[in-house]
Amino acid sequence: MTTKALRAVTYSRVSTHDKGQNPEVQRAELNRYCKARDWPIQEEVIDYGSGGTDQRPGLKGLMSLVRARKVDVVVVTKLDRFARSLRHLVTALDEFTALGVLFVSVGDQIDLTTASGRLMLHLLAAFAEFERALIRERTLMGLAHARSIGKTLGRPITRPDNEILKLRSEGMSYTQIQKCLGCERSAVYRALKAVAKTSSQSFQVAEKTRHRKGAK
């Protein structure tokens, strides 16, 4: 009984910032590897540019081939040619596994067609989860420290509260303040509500008087 040959797609990437890199070096190595394993190459994908993003045209094309089930195995020379981070690598490999597509990194000796290669995938996933946990822990510690020293978290308030208070004290209605400052009517409400909590008693009395008179 003959085993069906795996359809391969090779992926190479060179940085445009490094004039000494040549995609042909990676391409030749990948061709030799696939030939030695009798894997017919369906596509040879090459990207030029930084590996710090997953928005590379070649990578997008490769993922389209994988999702269309047009290939059985993805072959790269090194992990850093393919993935921008450990998290990106694990996410991509999880998708490959779900679609039944294998992955080989020749230089790193990671081969998901073997049991040891699949074990390596589990180890990578564990490291990625550990990395995520560390990031979450650092973030929470940073937020707790900021609160402990009295820092206000979240986006800063950009309402012109002082200007709103001044115009209101001069007798302007909410609509007039809104038009004068070019802000939302709801911003006027929120600003006056916030200011009233710390403002003088005379201002609060005057505000209640305006409400009774309908000066809105």
The CATH H-level (homologous superfamily) assignment of domain 8-130 is: Resolvase, N-terminal catalytic domain (3.40.50.1390)
What's the whole-number average pLDDT of the chain? Answer: 79
Backbone angles phi, psi at 82, to 5 degrees: -100, -55
2 vs 201, residue with greater confidence: 201
Q: Name every residue whose Cβ is closer than 8 Å to that of residue 97 and which is 6 or more positions away in sequence.
A: 112, 121
Sheet with 8-14, edge to edge strand ranges = 41-48, 8-14, 73-76, 102-105, 110-111
Q: What is the mean pLDDT of residues 183-209?
A: 67
Answer whether 90's CB lies under 8 Å from 24's CB: no
- In sign, the C-alpha dihedral spanning 71, 76, 80, 81 is negative
Could you report the per-residue pLDDT of 122-142, keeping only the tens digit for each? 777 676 666 667 777 888 888
Active-site residues, by number, are: 15
Q: CB-based contacts of 148: which residues, under 8 Å, 6+ apart?
A: none
Q: What tens digit of pLDDT does each residue of 158-178 get?
A: 667 778 888 888 888 888 888
User: If pLDDT is split at 50, 70 and 90, which confidence band does 1 have?
Assistant: very low
User: Encoding tokens for residue 169?
Assistant: 């004290």
What confidence category does residue 2 fall into, taking pLDDT thresholds of 50, 70 and 90?
very low
Distance CA 176, CA 196 (A): 19
Domain range annotation of the chain = 8-130, 161-213
